[in-house]
Amino acid sequence: MFSQTAEYALRAVVFLGNQIGHPCTTAELAGEIAAPPDYLAKVMQGLSRVGIVQSQRGLHGGFKLALDPGELTILDVVNAVDAFHRVDSCPLGRPGHNSGLCPLHRRIDNVMAVAEKTLHDTTIQEVLQEPGLLCTLPCVVESTSLGKEKPKSRRK
Amino acid sequence: MFSQTAEYALRAVVFLGNQIGHPCTTAELAGEIAAPPDYLAKVMQGLSRVGIVQSQRGLHGGFKLALDPGELTILDVVNAVDAFHRVDSCPLGRPGHNSGLCPLHRRIDNVMAVAEKTLHDTTIQEVLQEPGLLCTLPCVVESTSLGKEKPKSRRK
């Protein structure tokens, strides 16, 4: 359900949600959210294409969130980069199943439907406001060396 | 959540659940469930390794279900071939997050937890007994030519 692409997109959006007004380059963002820069560049293109982030060129350019975090859901972010797949039709293409799914695929789709609704019902603002340190923010034990360390050294 | 590997494994197990006592070769099974034979052979190895199916050698050999469908859950089948992943620890490996997940990853894991429970609570027997034609069985419009058609011609 959650590909690595969706995971990076969510980390990036949550990070930028705390940086409103402060553009962040792909290289900076890659360090902050522990993502490979080249991979992240493609993820950011996907987010930019649907207007979730906007990029500014120039010396102090970079990405910033283009939408109100209160109007942006986790599902929006996932769908921007790696569409959430429901079972819309028989995966085997059985002609007799045009009018509905079989018991197996109906159950699988029910699971996906619940997951999709939960992701649709949760905004980025809710994630940002929830108590608890986001892992896309520098964690306490490392705050003194922020900016000097490379992303890898910040992992366990 | 559901990889193609898991999808083929579920189709195979559901098909074999209706064939108890009648071994089915990988080639036959591949045709019945519309799966590539070489890919399916690896999937069946995975199911065999954990004892969900057993293979019989010889002229009338093949695979059959080794477990009671009433004791076998959808989650068992998925985990046999492509383990269902929860978010067990901080994906960024932040030292400050050893004791719990951040608000973003906690929400993602909550979605996965609900899905995992649903899959764990559903047995293959329940799928087999539910009203509705399974798409791993020949569908009505094609039943007259069963055995003569190749799998591809049975798709839409």
More confident residue, B135 or A142: B135
Instruction: Give the N- to C-terminal CA distance of chain A in Å, as an integer.
Output: 25
CA dihedral A115, A117, A123, A127 (to 10 degrees): -30
CB contact under 8 A, B104 and A2: no
Asked if B119's CB is within 8 angstroms of A111's CB, the reply is yes
ipTM attached to this prediction:
0.77
Beta bridge partners, A64, equal A54
The residue among B144 and B60 whose pLDDT is bigger is: B60
Query: pTM score, two decimals?
Result: 0.78
What residues pair up with B73 in beta bridges, in sequence order? B123
The predicted-structure confidence for B97-114, as pLDDT tens digits, reads as follows: 666 788 888 899 999 999
Best of B29, B92, B130 to substitute, by most chain A Cβ atoms within 10 angstroms, is B92
pLDDT attached to residue A133: 64
Res. A84: pLDDT tops 90: no
pLDDT of res. A96: 66
Q: Give the A window 54-113 contacts with B, CB below 8 Å.
A: 74, 90-98, 100-108, 110-112
- Closest residue to A102, CB basis, from B95, B133, B142: B133
Confidence grade of residue A141 (pLDDT, cut at 50, 70, 90) = very low
Q: What is the distance between the alpha carbons of residues B24 and B63, in angstroms, rounded to a whole number?
A: 5
Reported as a pLDDT band with limits 50, 70 and 90, residue B87 is confident
Query: By percentage, how much of chain B surpasses pLDDT 70?
Result: 78
Residue in the block written with tokens 């819309």: A88
Q: Select the residue of A1, A104, A127 nearest B107 (Cβ to Cβ).
A: A127
Task: Assess whether pLDDT exceeds 50 at residue B148.
Answer: no
Residue of B nearest to A14 (CA): B104
d(C-alpha B38, C-alpha B26), whole Å: 9
3-class DSSP assignment, residue A79 = helix
In order, the DSSP letters of B66-131 are -S-TTT-BHHHHHHHHSPPPP--S-TT--GGGTTS--HHHHHHHHHHHHHHHHHHT-BHHHHHHSS
Q: How far is A77 from B89, CA to CA, in rounded Å?
A: 22
| More reliable by pLDDT, B138 or B129 | B129
CATH number of B4-84+123-148: 1.10.10.10
Q: Do A104 and B11 touch (CB under 8 A)?
A: yes
pLDDT band at B12 (very low <50, low <70, confident <90, very high): very high
Residues in a beta bridge with B64: B54
Average pLDDT, chain B: 82
Tokens of A48: 């930019």
CB count in 10 Å sphere of residue A21: 6
Q: Predicted confidence band at A58 (pLDDT cuts at 50, 70, 90)?
A: confident
Q: How far is B36 from chain A (nearest CA, A)?
A: 12
Mean residue pLDDT of chain A comes to 82
Q: pLDDT at position A132, please?
A: 66
CATH of domain A4-84+123-154: 1.10.10.10
pLDDT grade for A92, boundaries at 50, 70 and 90: confident
